[in-house]
Copies of this chain bind each other. A is one copy, B any other.
């Protein structure tokens, strides 16, 4: 029987919590300071959107939660490492993250760099070894998906482009698709891999791409509309860093319209699932209505 969105969200939170405890709190530890910085960067009350998407997609196609745990955990580790590094002075120079000091502020720059550096191999090790009934081939496919989405053809390239100045709206959209979209598409692919499901993959990738871009545009709006207390991270960062955003290219109203269009596109992409679309449809409405 299929669980409700709320039930999958609660399951996601509690399973992630257990996985993080299992893999981040090993003893004896080689460097206690490094371990603390890693844990600080990961267990920080984030929205856990990417692992949730892994679980939702996998559950939609009847994967067991055991077979999704490694993928859900590691995609969040990769996302967490990227936030730790993005906040560094040489990057976005952000002092706040989710209402707390960013990792390099709570520790120091060297430890923040190393915490991010440590999360990457840990993620791939977990995909390789975490107990489940996944075949060796499924594990390798998951490693490929996560690696490809996070490196020089995905998230890291997006962050590199973000360090430059987008000259056109197309540049900006390309950057967003790499920086945020690649990992959300990977979440869908990982959920499908856990379920050994190929049918509807292209539609769900389209769904994830639209949600990813919409999410980034929502961030652009939030960055100018909210106070730091409301969204829990340094705001006005884009303006302070002289960064172009979707809003600075087309204004607030056209950004809102584009977000609506993207969500409509995402909704449309789910149609092929028939009755199976329910969970992902609810997820979509939740993201659509987010205000932080």
Contact = CB atoms under 8 A, between A and B. Distances in A.
Interface string A155-185: 0111111011000000000000010000000
Interface stretch (A61-69, A123-131, A214-222): A123-131
Given A124-B147, A144-B129, A85 B163 contact: no
A113 B88 contact: yes
A257 to B, nearest CB: 28
A121 B147 contact: yes
Contacts of A148: 121, 125
Interface of A is mostly: helix
Interface string A72-116: 000000000110010010110000000000000000111101101
B128 A160 contact: no
A81 to B, nearest CB: 8
A117 to B, nearest CB: 5
A121 B151 contact: yes
A190 interface: no
Contacts of A82: 117
A120 interface: yes
7 contacts: A111-B163, A117-B151, A120-B120, A121-B148, A122-B152, A124-B147, A128-B147
Interface stretch (A27-35, A50-58, A192-200, A270-278): A27-35
Interface in A134-163: 135-137, 139-141, 143-144, 146-148, 150-154, 156-161, 163
Interface of A: 26, 29-31, 33-35, 38, 81-82, 85, 88, 90-91, 108-111, 113-114, 116-118, 120-122, 124-125, 127-129, 135-137, 139-141, 143-144, 146-148, 150-154, 156-161, 163-164, 178
A152 B118 contact: yes
A30 B125 contact: no
A26 B151 CA distance: 13
Given A120-B117, A128-B144, A147-B121, A30 B164 contact: no
